[in-house]
Amino acid sequence: MAQQQQRLGTLVFYSDFDDFGAWQKALQAQLPDLKVVHSSALERPEDVHYAMVWKPPEGFFQQMPNLRLIVNLGAGVDALVSRSDLPAGIPITRITDPNMSRMMAGYVLFAVLRHARDIPHFEQAQRRGEWAYRHPRSPEEIAVAVLGLGHLGAMAASEVQRQGFRTLGWSRSQRLIEGVECFSGIETLDTVLGQADIVVLMLPLTPHTKGLFDRARLERLRPGAAFVNVARGALVDQAALTALLQSGHIGSATLDVFEREPLPADDPLWGIPQVLITPHLASVAIPSSSARQIAANILRVAEGEEPMDVVDPGRGY
Ligand SMILES: NC(=O)c1ccc[n+]([C@@H]2O[C@H](COP(=O)([O-])OP(=O)(O)OC[C@H]3O[C@@H](n4cnc5c(N)ncnc54)[C@H](OP(=O)(O)O)[C@@H]3O)[C@@H](O)[C@H]2O)c1
């Protein structure tokens, strides 16, 4: 055991959001010989071969000369890859767990159905004590655009399609998803937006996607369209989105992510009745199921192989 621990070395954990105990238990169930230590209790930084982190402090990695792998504790790597203190040549992996994709697909489906079934209209009518009948539209009359068709977006698009909605997908490279009309490249974005009744953002935050949904682009949405953002707040000009919701050009929104989080108490978005706000929880990393993928990567690295699901820092995702 001591020999194997020596072989696998130590994994150091840092996150202010995630439950260390749950991750330690899940990782050690997969790799009993891996030493899993919280960064606050780390005594021998030279033994650390793996770092599993969510927003660690500046200079975190510098004390670990034998680091071999950085595991981003989540699907979105924007906060990590934009740092200037990353050690050169150390692979970064992220969590890609089917259960995490399912959790996200569930949220997206909920948001799409909320808009497709005019729930914001009924919620407001209820507050007024009004029986405000609005005849339901059938799903095939409603077009849903899922922007970003990665691990999370592809499953969400398939779930939306399974409900009978006309489903459009958009990504950087051309994708093929059964039943989904797939588009790729910036030159097709406005065409996709112009056809959609419900737009769902599932893109990573990169230098190419930051601010992509500025006022001009948001104005290309169909009048009355619904807007769902489960990706990152910085993809969108939030002031422009707010103004377009207030004017009614954008009919309703379900927002899980914001330019500033927590969303400040005086932000005008809180007061717009047709907006649903959730505090960045559309999907979270699940220790019991994600540990398998992380353990497999640790074993690969321990054997001198390349890990899977490596992030390309140049590409930003
Ligand atoms: N709200 C939450 O709770 C929560 C939880 C987890 C993740 N997230 C967010 O969800 C994002 C997506 O996650 P994921 O795992 O699905 O990511 P992913 O597997 O890396 O997929 C990203 C998708 O976006 C596309 N894309 C990237 N840059 C693009 C560009 N410039 N133009 C067009 N398409 C572009 C990619 O195109 P290609 O297919 O051509 O590569 C791919 O389809 C994460 O980055 C994170 O920010 C949010």
Closest to 168 in 3D by CA, of 150, 138, 148: 148
For residue 310, being part of any structural domain is answered with: no
pLDDT in tens, 197-206: 999 999 999 9
For residue 204, being part of any structural domain is answered with: yes
Residues 71/45, Cβ–Cβ less than 8 Å: no
For residue 307, being part of any structural domain is answered with: no
- Pair 63, 147 in one domain: no
For residue 311, being part of any structural domain is answered with: no
Tokens 């192989």 -> residue = 305
> Which residues are CB-contacts of 281 (< 8 A; sequence separation ≥ 6)?
256
Structural domain of 104:
99-277
- Pair 51, 121 in one domain: no
Q: How many Cβ atoms are within 10 Å of 132's Cβ, its own excluded?
A: 11
**pTM listed for this prediction:** 0.96
Say which CATH number the domain at 25 has: 3.40.50.720
* Cα–Cα distance for residue pair 157/252, rounded to 1 Å: 20
For residue 30, being part of any structural domain is answered with: yes
Coil, helix or strand at residue 99? helix
Q: Is 151 in the pocket of ligand 1 (CB under 6 A)?
A: yes
Residue 6: per-residue pLDDT: 58
Find the 184 Cα to ligand 1 centroid distance in Å.
Answer: 13
- Pair 89, 107 in one domain: no
pLDDT in tens, 257-270: 999 999 999 999 99
Q: What is the residue-wise DSSP string for 162-181?
A: HTT-EEEEEESS----TTEE
Strand ranges (E), 172-256: 180-184, 198-201, 225-229, 250-255
The residues annotated with a catalytic role in the active site are 232, 280
Residues 288/295, Cβ–Cβ less than 8 Å: no
For residue 271, being part of any structural domain is answered with: yes
Closest to 233 in 3D by CA, of 200, 257, 213: 257
Task: Say if residue 266 is exposed, middle or buried (CB neighbours under 10 Å; 0-12, 13-18, 19+).
Answer: exposed
pLDDT in tens, 92-121: 999 999 999 999 999 999 999 999 999 999
Residue 88: per-residue pLDDT: 93
Find the 206 Cα to ligand 1 centroid distance in Å.
Answer: 9
Domains of the chain: total:
2
Q: Is 297 in the pocket of ligand 1 (CB under 6 A)?
A: no
Residue 5: per-residue pLDDT: 52
Mean pLDDT of successive 10-residue stretches along the chain, which has 317 residues: 66 97 97 96 96 96 96 95 94 95 98 98 97 98 98 98 98 98 98 98 98 98 98 98 98 98 98 98 96 97 96 93
Q: What is the CA angle 254-140-186, rounded to 5?
A: 60
- Pair 128, 255 in one domain: yes
- Pair 170, 207 in one domain: yes
- Pair 124, 177 in one domain: yes
- Pair 110, 253 in one domain: yes
Q: Is 154 in the pocket of ligand 1 (CB under 6 A)?
A: no
Coil, helix or strand at residue 262? coil
For residue 308, being part of any structural domain is answered with: no
Nearest CA to ligand 1 atom 30: 172
Q: Is 202 in the pocket of ligand 1 (CB under 6 A)?
A: yes
Q: Is 76 in the pocket of ligand 1 (CB under 6 A)?
A: yes
For residue 314, being part of any structural domain is answered with: no
- Side-by-side strand order, sheet with 69-72: 35-38, 10-15, 48-54, 69-72, 92-94
Question: In Å, what is the CA distance from 307 to each residue of 63, 208, 217?
Answer: 23, 26, 38
Q: Which atom of ligand 1 is nearest to the CA of 174?
A: 40
Residue 222: per-residue pLDDT: 98
- Pair 130, 199 in one domain: yes
- Pair 208, 125 in one domain: yes
- Pair 156, 272 in one domain: yes
- Pair 104, 143 in one domain: yes
Question: In Å, what is the CA distance from 66 to each residue of 10, 42, 56, 83?
Answer: 10, 14, 18, 20
Find the 33 Cα to ligand 1 centroid distance in Å.
Answer: 34
- Pair 89, 182 in one domain: no
